[in-house]
Amino acid sequence: MKRAFITGITGQDGSYLAELLLEKGYDVHGLVRRASTLNRSRIDHLHDNPHLTLHYGDLTDGVSLVNLIHKIEPHEVYNLGAQSHVKVSFEMPEYTASTDAVGTLRLLEAIRAAGIDCRFYQASTSEMFGATPPPQSERSAFYPRSPYGAAKLYSHWVTVNYREAYDLFAVSGILFNHESPRRGESFVTRKITLGVAAIKLGVQERLELGNLDAIRDWGYAPEYVEGMWRMLQRDEPDDYVLATGVGTSVREFCAAAFTHVGLDWEEHVSHDSRYERPTEVDALIGDASKAESLLGWKAQTMPSELAALMVDADLEKMARLIER
Which partner from the list ligand G4F, ligand NAP, none does 99 bind, CB cut-off 5 to 8 Å by kind?
Answer: ligand NAP
Does 228 contact ligand NAP by CB under 6 A? no
Identify whether 125 is a catalytic site residue: yes
Give backbone dihedrals phi and psi of 124, rounded to 5 degrees, phi first.
-85, 175
Rounded to 10 deg, the angle between the 303-323 and 250-260 helix axes is 50
Residue 53 contacts which entry, ligand NAP, ligand G4F, none (Cβ below 5-8 A, type-dependent): none
Gyration radius of the chain over CA positions: 19
Q: How far apart are CA 173 and CA 122, in angstroms?
A: 6
Q: Does 84 bind ligand G4F (CB under 6 A)?
A: yes
Give me the count of residues in the chain.
324
- Per DSSP, the three-state class of 174 is strand
- CA atoms within 13 A of residue 9's CA, in its CB half-sphere: 29
Residues 98-137 that bind ligand G4F (CB under 6 A): 125-127
Q: Which residues pair with 28 in a beta bridge?
A: 4, 52
Whether the link from the prior residue into 278 is cis, omega within 30° of 0, is: no
Q: Is 143 in the site for ligand G4F (CB under 6 A)?
A: no
- List binders of ligand NAP among 168-227 (CB under 6 A): 175, 177-178, 184
Closest CA to 123 of 174, 181, 157, 199: 174
Contacts of 74 (CB under 8 A, 6+ apart): 3, 4, 5, 29, 116, 118
Binding mask 69-108 for ligand NAP (x = CB under 6 A): -----------xxxxx--------------x---------
Regarding 125 and contact with ligand NAP (CB under 6 A), the answer is yes
- Span near ligand G4F by CB under 6 A; candidates 1-9, 83-91, 223-231, 296-304: 83-91
Stretch near ligand G4F under the rule CB under 6 A, chosen from 28-36, 92-100, 274-282, 306-314: 274-282
Q: Does 39 bind ligand NAP (CB under 6 A)?
A: yes
Q: Would you call 301 a catalytic residue per the annotation?
A: no
Q: Is 90 in the site for ligand G4F (CB under 6 A)?
A: no
Amino acid at 46: L
Any idea what DSSP says for residue 177? P
Angstrom distance (rounded) from CA 311 to CA 172? 31
Does 39 participate in binding ligand G4F (rule CB under 6 A)? Answer: no
Interacting residues toward ligand G4F by CB under 6 A? 84, 86-87, 125-127, 176-177, 186-188, 191, 209-211, 214, 216, 250, 275, 277, 280, 284
**Residues annotated as catalytic (active site), given as ranges:** 125, 127, 148
Interacting residues toward ligand NAP by CB under 6 A? 7-8, 10-14, 31, 33, 39, 58-60, 80-84, 99, 123, 125, 175, 177-178, 184
